[in-house]
Amino acid sequence: MFSAIVIDKTDDGQTVTLQQLDESALPEGDVTIDVSFSTLNFKDGLAITGSSPVVRKFPMVPGIDLVGTVIESSSADWKAGDTVVLNGWGVGEVHWGGLAQKAKLKGEWLVPLPSAFTPAQAMAIGTAGYTAALCVDALIDAGVTPDQGEVLVTGATGGVGSVAIALLKKLGFSVAALTGKASEADYLKSLGAETIIERSEMSEKGKPLQKERWAGVVDTAGSFTLANACAQTKYGGAVAACGLAQGMDLPATVMPFILRGVSLLGIDSVMAPKAKRLKAWDRLAKDLDPAVLDTIGQTIGLGDAIDAAKKFMSGEVKGRYIVDVNA
């Protein structure tokens, strides 16, 4: 038997409970894992609260991230005793996820835990930090360099934003942080942000082409924020779009792209191929100071995860929740 958070759907709506399950209930997979830690992401908040139809199969164990030890494997890539990390692949949406003490997954979805991090630190990073690394890699691959000017990070106090700021600072970039939490200015500056911008400055409809300001952008918001970010990006700059916290719409024009050569880079963390995943985790191991993770992470028990997930929807979350599934 093992503990797991289970989302189910009845005629009366969605239920979310902490349950004891038999191992025979685990889904198909070729690697069985003793989970050490999971975490909470915005998508987990959507799933657990039912705010958006993220879960497409019931009953479902949420949790799009996990780290743990392989206890059984028929995959050629993994053996008992290996420590592995899982991010994405539809886990927590169509396949049981990490908010449980055990998981059964496909070996091809897993990557090794980098030696630079403890299991708990890997979950302080989680999908949010891994997505931040994908964004930073994309900007660098697009030719954005520190000498070209500031890089804007939106949703700056969230998990993606926090890690993106720390990575960009380590790489020598000047970082501007967009946030609706003015009280967190000291936190953002401690991560490496030099400029703090009030979210409302970019969250309303703006002109299709605005004063050139950013060499690059990491955007977690979408909607008007992303449209304004594109409109303010310098000639030849790049915008990495990875989220929809404000909305999934993009009320923009083609002006920044055809008059300034701005590149809009779509960042998909869920189905990213293994080579990109390994590159992102290598970036994190090389350029993210593990001490930063103590600043952005707070640990909770599995039983606390349901209430904590609700805080995502009310905008109360700063940094990352690490879920100790055995606490």
Both ends of the chain: CA-CA distance in Å? 16
State the Cα–Cα distance between residues 104 and 33, nearest whole angstrom. Answer: 6
Q: For the structural domain made of 128-266, what CATH number should be given?
A: 3.40.50.720
Note the pLDDT tens digit of each residue in 20-65.
999 999 999 999 999 999 999 889 999 999 988 899 999 999 999 9
Neighbours of 289 (CB within 10 A): 15
Q: Which residues contact 27 (CB under 8 A, 6 or more apart)?
A: 95, 96, 104
Domain ranges, ordered by start, for the chain: 2-113+291-324, 128-266
Mean pLDDT, residues 297-312 taken together: 91
- Structure confidence at residue 11 (pLDDT): 86
- Structure confidence at residue 51 (pLDDT): 86
State the Cα–Cα distance between residues 115 and 133, nearest whole angstrom. Answer: 17
State the Cα–Cα distance between residues 126 and 66, nearest whole angstrom. Answer: 8
pLDDT above 80: residue 313: no
Nearest alpha carbon to residue 320 among 113, 68, 37:
37
State the Cα–Cα distance between residues 102 and 79, nearest whole angstrom. Answer: 16
Note the pLDDT tens digit of each residue in 166-187.
999 999 999 999 999 989 999 9
Lowest mean pLDDT among 25-34, 202-211, 288-297, 299-308: 288-297
Neighbours of 16 (CB within 10 A): 18
- Record the pTM: 0.92
Joined together, the tokens standing for residue 288 give 């993210």
Residue 163 belongs to what H/E stretch?
helix 159-170
Residue 262 in contact with residue 256, Cβ under 8 Å? yes
- Structure confidence at residue 91 (pLDDT): 96
Residue 269 in contact with residue 1, Cβ under 8 Å? no
- Structure confidence at residue 192 (pLDDT): 97
Look up residue 36 and give its amino acid.
Answer: S
State the Cα–Cα distance between residues 281 and 122, nearest whole angstrom. Answer: 10
Computed over every residue of the chain, the mean pLDDT equals: 95
Question: What CATH class is the domain 2-113+291-324?
Answer: alpha beta
Q: Give the pLDDT band of residue 128 (cuts 50, 70, 90).
A: very high
